[in-house]
Amino acid sequence: MITEFYISPKEFKGPLNLSLTFNSGQTSQPPWQKENKYFQELIMVEDKPCLVKIRHDDSNPENDVHIIAESLENVPEKSIKERIGEIFGLTDDLSQLYDFLGEDPKLAPTIDFCQGLRLFKAHDPFECIVSSISSSNCSILRWTRSIRDIKQKWGEKFRFSSGDFYTFPSPKILGDVPEHDLEEMQRCEDDLPEDYIFKNNLKACGVGYRAKYIINTSRIVESEMDMGKLAKIKYDKAFNTVLELPGVGPKVADCILLYGFGMGEAFPVDVWIKRIIEHLYFPHEELKPQEAREFGMKKFGDYAGYVQLYLFHYARKSGLLESLRKK
């Protein structure tokens, strides 16, 4: 079934730049696939698989967002629109954000570089957890490829008019996959060809040492963690809960809460954000990551997640990041 509709700029707050949002390295999930002029991805709407194609002329903020949704069952347009609004933060008031940024001379330059950049929220919080763990000390290209491999090997396949698409596997399924080729070999039959290549294990997806963290985290999420409850508790308690997961440090925990659960006060700090904060606010000091995190959360409040995103993109595009590399 095909559902086609438009979202007027009057229905969301402030500008929207889809390309910038998809390609800003946010760890909620890999960027949606580009086909012709549309970005597309399989998402679940009312627990039903729905292939969503989205297009927006980023050069003209007055243009509508065009949506084409293909589903195997009837899915109401209203529900699809609500999910898209959640994923792309269309209710986030970027005009107010820009007013906030403009009041700080150190943040004001980010506005021109980041017009329309929005938080890219996870359509599957568990996928966000695994994506965030996979992204630790890893390039964007590598971890996004790993997540796509995981989906194709263990996710559920659905066929649509434009091809096959996969859901992200459940915690139960991912918690039971072999960690490496030796474990896969031990589980296999004895009559395999001599040249058989063991590739149905997590390390074969390129996650490296993170494989054991992903498997153990999957088991904990399946047996002990209530994702719905986690989304409703206060930030500090949620942070400490997520921090107990294998392979999750403070930065990854903040990414999970920001992108997976919409907690905008999270301020993920890696080595680059720490250096950017030092450069802008503490030019003669060296901060610990925890100090940079506490500073960001206190100074930027509910906008902390957006400020972190804007600062990093600004640093990449303005040349600041390159200059900080040379120090």
Q: What is the CATH number of the domain that holds 231?
A: 1.10.340.30
* Whether 251 is catalytic: yes
Q: Tell me: the pLDDT tens digits for 34-51?
A: 988 899 999 999 999 999
Least confident of 140-149, 193-202, 205-214, 218-227: 193-202
Least confident of 45-54, 65-74, 176-185, 288-297: 176-185
326 or 65, greater pLDDT? 65
Whether residue 105 is contained in a domain is answered as no
Same domain membership, residue 239 and residue 171: yes
Look at residue 124 and tell me whether its pLDDT is greater than 80.
yes
Distance CA 223, CA 220 (A): 5
DSSP line for 169-213: PPHHHHTTS-SSHHHHHHHS-TT--TT----SSGGGGT-TTHHHH
Q: Name the pTM for this structure.
A: 0.92
Residue 190 banded pLDDT, cuts 50, 70, 90: low
Whether residue 262 is contained in a domain is answered as no
Same domain membership, residue 82 and residue 170: no
Q: Which residue, 186, 219, 247, sits at the end of a domain?
A: 247
Look at residue 138 and tell me whether its pLDDT is greater than 90.
no
CATH number of the domain enclosing 23: 3.30.310.20
Q: Which residue, 41, 70, 91, sits at the end of a domain?
A: 91
Look at residue 198 and tell me whether its pLDDT is greater than 70.
no
The CA–CA distances, whole Å, from 152 to 41, 125, 147, 191 equal: 13, 18, 9, 25
Whether residue 70 is contained in a domain is answered as yes
pLDDT at position 192 = 62
Beta bridge partners of 167: none
Give the mean model confidence (pLDDT) for residues 217-240. Answer: 94
Q: What's the structural domain count of the chain? A: 2
Question: Residue 211, class by beta-carbon neighbours within 10 Å (0-12 exposed, 13-18 middle, 19+ buried)?
Answer: buried
pLDDT at position 200 = 80
pLDDT at position 168 = 97
Q: Tell me: the pLDDT tens digits for 58-116?
A: 777 678 999 999 999 999 999 999 999 999 999 999 999 999 999 999 999 999 999 99
Q: What rounded mean pLDDT belongs to the chain?
A: 92
Q: Which residue, 247, 277, 306, sits at the end of a domain?
A: 247
Amino acid at 318: S
In percent, the amount of the chain with pLDDT more than 90 equals 79
Those residues with Cβ within 8 angstroms of residue 26's Cβ, 6 or more apart along the chain or in another chain? 119, 120, 259, 309
Whether residue 311 is contained in a domain is answered as no
Same domain membership, residue 86 and residue 156: no
Residue 243 in tokens: 């921090």
Helix (H, G, I), strand (E, B) or coil at 75: coil
Nearest to 66 by CA among 80, 79, 56, 76: 56
Which one is catalytic: 53, 251, 298, 326? 251
Other C-beta atoms closer than 10 Å to the C-beta of 284 total 5
pLDDT at position 195 = 59
Domain that holds residue 182: 124-247
Same domain membership, residue 87 and residue 128: no
pLDDT at position 162 = 86
Whether residue 142 is contained in a domain is answered as yes
The CA–CA distances, whole Å, from 173 to 26, 177, 221 equal: 25, 7, 11
Look at residue 125 and tell me whether its pLDDT is greater than 80.
yes
